[in-house]
Amino acid sequence: MPAPELLIDTDPGVDDALAILMAHASANVVALTIAAGNVGLAHTVGNALNLIDRVGAETPVFAGCSVPLVFPADDAGFVHGADGFGDTGGLPSRRTASAEHAAMAIVRLAKERPGELTLVALAPLTNIALALRLDHALPTRIKRLVVMGGAVNGRGNTHRAPAEFNIGFDPESAHIVFSEWPAFDLVDWEACMRHAIGFARFDDLLGSGDARARFYTAISRKAHAFSLSHERSGMILADALAMAVALDPAIVTRSERHHVAIEMSGHLTRGATVVDWDNRLGQRANANIVLDVDRHRFEELVACALGAREAPPSR
């Protein structure tokens, strides 16, 4: 299978960074469009430019929305560091973001390359919702959408227990995308927890000696400590898992198609992803919910991004 052409909407962020390294190791990355989320937009854009420096690519970076569509939301700097990269205070890139807004860039690129692009959504869905408002036909122009977001059984990772961060940060945008995009792959937080990579194994991969691994060791130190202090079973690499699904659809070993809606108003449940597991409402299934992936293949793709092995054979 030829390597996919990727358009990545992202808010780097430690796990976004790994996903972006993975993408550049095994696919053609057409652009990064950047949202606020894990930290503010100035940092997420700066981090994206910094990553492009690291991989030595010419991938264009487009800055997008600095706030959610309707209500303000708290970022996740307590996990990713106030700068989004573990408070490493890296040198600013000499590159700059393109002048075009991220939402406009998504619309334009999809029109220029109809049916070719895989859109990988690793951030709150603000830019993509706005792009959908600018172009209702966007889903017909995109080959495939993979979304990292949600908690399909209500075990989220935010202060509203059932909400996962990307959806909880901007539920209105998530609602627009989930209700208007006819079919997408959903990699939710609970799948990411099930596919955590053990700390010892991840340390092995980071020990490759490659410059990308040294960089990733530095930026992930704070997230690593957070994971240990929260008694996680290993490193939960949410965006990296979604990227693996985008790079290699055959990695999915179990999935189910269901209708998923977004709760926007619940005092305790705002941002929850509500799955109609038994099709009680008779609504069209919009989400292909990824339940299991081939762990070995996932680790191979991560290892390759960190220089711990050669590019895995494509299949």
Site of interaction with ligand BDR (CB under 6 A): 13, 15-16, 38, 76, 122, 148, 157, 164-166, 189, 238-239
Binding of Ca ion by 13 (CB under 5 A): yes
Q: Which stretch binds Ca ion (CB under 5 A): 16-24, 167-175, 270-278, 301-309?
A: 16-24
Q: Which stretch binds Ca ion (CB under 5 A): 25-33, 122-130, 172-180, 263-271?
A: 122-130
User: 204-234 as b/e, with b when 16 or more CB fall inside 10 Å?
Assistant: ebbebeeebbebbbebbebbbebbeeeeeeb
Please, which residue, 75 or 299, has the CB nearer to ligand BDR? 75
Binding of Ca ion by 9 (CB under 5 A): no
Cβ atoms of 173 and 126 closer than 8 Å: yes
Instruction: Enumerate residues 6+ apart whose C-beta is below 8 A from 48.
Output: 10, 12, 20, 32, 34, 61, 97
Dist CA 291 CA 187 (whole Å)? 8
> Shortest distance, CB of residue 119 to ligand BDR, whole angstroms?
15
Binding of Ca ion by 125 (CB under 5 A): no
> Shortest distance, CB of residue 169 to ligand BDR, whole angstroms?
8
State the binding partner of 298 from Ca ion, ligand BDR, none, CB within 5 to 8 A by kind: none
Instruction: For strands 5-10 and 273-275, give the pairing.
Output: unpaired
State the binding partner of 274 from Ca ion, ligand BDR, none, CB within 5 to 8 A by kind: none
State the binding partner of 164 from ligand BDR, Ca ion, none, CB within 5 to 8 A by kind: ligand BDR
Dist CA 179 CA 181 (whole Å)? 6
Binding of Ca ion by 122 (CB under 5 A): yes
Dist CA 166 CA 148 (whole Å)? 8
As given in the structure block, the two tokens for residue 242 are: 């979604």
